């Protein structure tokens, strides 16, 4: 940052409190350099000369465009197609057949921190590979708190680099078409997905789901926010619904909503009855 842009303790404390209150994201002190870099870039993008200008704008309109831009800047949206693969294998081979035996259609799946949409599309492809007819009876909600990430997710368009991260060539050719130098998901997938801006800490959602993917999001929250998010998500799950977390995440010590379900050496969680 330039001297005019310097992020002082007062500004940093305000931003930390804002992010924790609004999103549950705890900006760790050991990540201060990364936070400063992202805020420096944001100041330039918004044509603010001082960090205090940014803070004042957010204070005046905590639900406004500048606040949304800050959340976008400080939210990690790292994702890829079929990330860590195993949850999608379990979904297609174990969970979908189980749900189809005991539940009425449509099949309802929620990608609760969808970032730029690769996870939701991976879910749709998993269902389609099980049965094209089943895909037509499936509703997928893809949500995120980042407006910027959701814009890309809604477009369903990805660069060569992005499709080369986890997407098998066979599925690329089957479910995507060329869009200039990029690739665009076909309407058969995109039509099954609804995209929404949702804040999992302050969640107002009345729908219920048979499967929820909440992967690699809890790791950025403090324990209080984790409990709130898991409680909110549990309220939106049907009886016996399944929950997938990231490999480094757990529900242990964060409430009594879920039980562990093992599929061989792999596990996920199920809403307690």
Tens-binned pLDDT, residue by residue, of the chain (273 aa): 554 456 778 888 899 889 889 898 888 765 677 788 888 899 999 999 888 999 999 999 988 999 999 988 888 777 999 999 999 999 999 999 888 887 778 999 999 999 999 999 999 999 999 999 999 999 999 999 999 899 999 999 999 999 999 999 999 999 999 999 999 999 999 999 999 999 999 998 999 999 999 999 999 899 999 999 999 999 999 999 999 999 889 998 998 999 999 998 888 999 998
Same domain, 93 and 70: no
Same domain, 69 and 112: no
- How far, in Å, are 75, 152, 153, 230 from residue 138 at the CA level? 29, 22, 18, 24
Centre a 10 Å sphere on the Cβ of residue 76 and count the other Cβ atoms it contains.
Answer: 15
Same domain, 38 and 155: no
Same domain, 42 and 120: no
Same domain, 138 and 62: no
**Six token digits for residue 162:** 């992005």
Q: Residue 237: which of 206, 216, 268 has the closest Cα? A: 206
CB 256 within 8 A of CB 224: no
Which domain, by its residues, includes 207?
86-271
pTM score: 0.89
Q: Residue 137: which of 94, 96, 89, 84 has the closest Cα? A: 96
Count of structural domains within the chain: 2
Same domain, 32 and 93: no
Give the domain-ending residue among 24, 53, 74: 74
Output the domain CATH number for residue 94.
3.40.50.150
Q: According to the model, what pLDDT value does residue 102 have?
A: 77
Instruction: Decide if 79 is inside a domain.
Output: no
Same domain, 93 and 228: yes
Paired strand residues for 259? 270
Q: According to the model, what pLDDT value does residue 10 have?
A: 87
Same domain, 116 and 237: yes
Q: Are strands 258-263 and 209-214 parallel, antiparallel or unpaired?
A: unpaired
Output the domain CATH number for residue 45.
1.10.155.10
- How far, in Å, are 74, 178, 192, 193 from residue 186 at the CA level? 31, 10, 11, 12
Phi, psi angle pair for 186, to nearest 5°: -70, 155
């Amino acid at each position: 940052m330039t001297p005019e842009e310097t992020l002082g303790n007062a500004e940093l404390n305000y931003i930390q409190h804002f992010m924790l209150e609004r999103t549950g994201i705890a900006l760790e002190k050991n990540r201060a350099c990364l936070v400063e870099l992202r805020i420096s870039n944001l100041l330039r993008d918004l044509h603010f000369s001082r960090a205090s200008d940014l803070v004042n704008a957010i204070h005046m309109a905590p639900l406004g465009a500048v606040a949304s831009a800050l959340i976008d800047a400080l939210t990690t949206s790292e994702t890829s197609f079929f990330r860590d693969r195993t949850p999608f294998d379990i979904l297609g081979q174990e969970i979908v057949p189980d749900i189809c035996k005991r539940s009425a259609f449509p099949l309802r799946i929620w990608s609760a921190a969808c970032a730029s949409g690769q996870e939701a599309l991976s879910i749709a492809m998993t269902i389609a590979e099980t049965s094209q007819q089943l895909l037509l009876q499936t509703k997928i909600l893809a949500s995120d708190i980042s407006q910027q990430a959701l814009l890309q997710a809604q477009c369903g368009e990805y660069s060569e680099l992005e499709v080369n991260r986890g997407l098998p060539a066979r599925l690329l050719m089957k479910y995507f078409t060329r869009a200039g130098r990029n690739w665009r998901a076909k309407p058969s997938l995109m039509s099954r997905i609804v995209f929404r801006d949702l804040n999992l800490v302050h969640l107002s959602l009345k729908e219920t789901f048979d499967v929820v993917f909440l992967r690699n999001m809890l790791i950025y929250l403090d324990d209080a926010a984790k409990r709130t998010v898991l409680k909110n998500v549990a309220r939106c799950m049907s009886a016996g619904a399944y929950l997938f977390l990231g490999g480094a995440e757990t529900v242990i010590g964060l409430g009594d909503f879920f039980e562990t379900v093992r599929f061989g050496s792999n596990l996920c969680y199920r809403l307690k009855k």
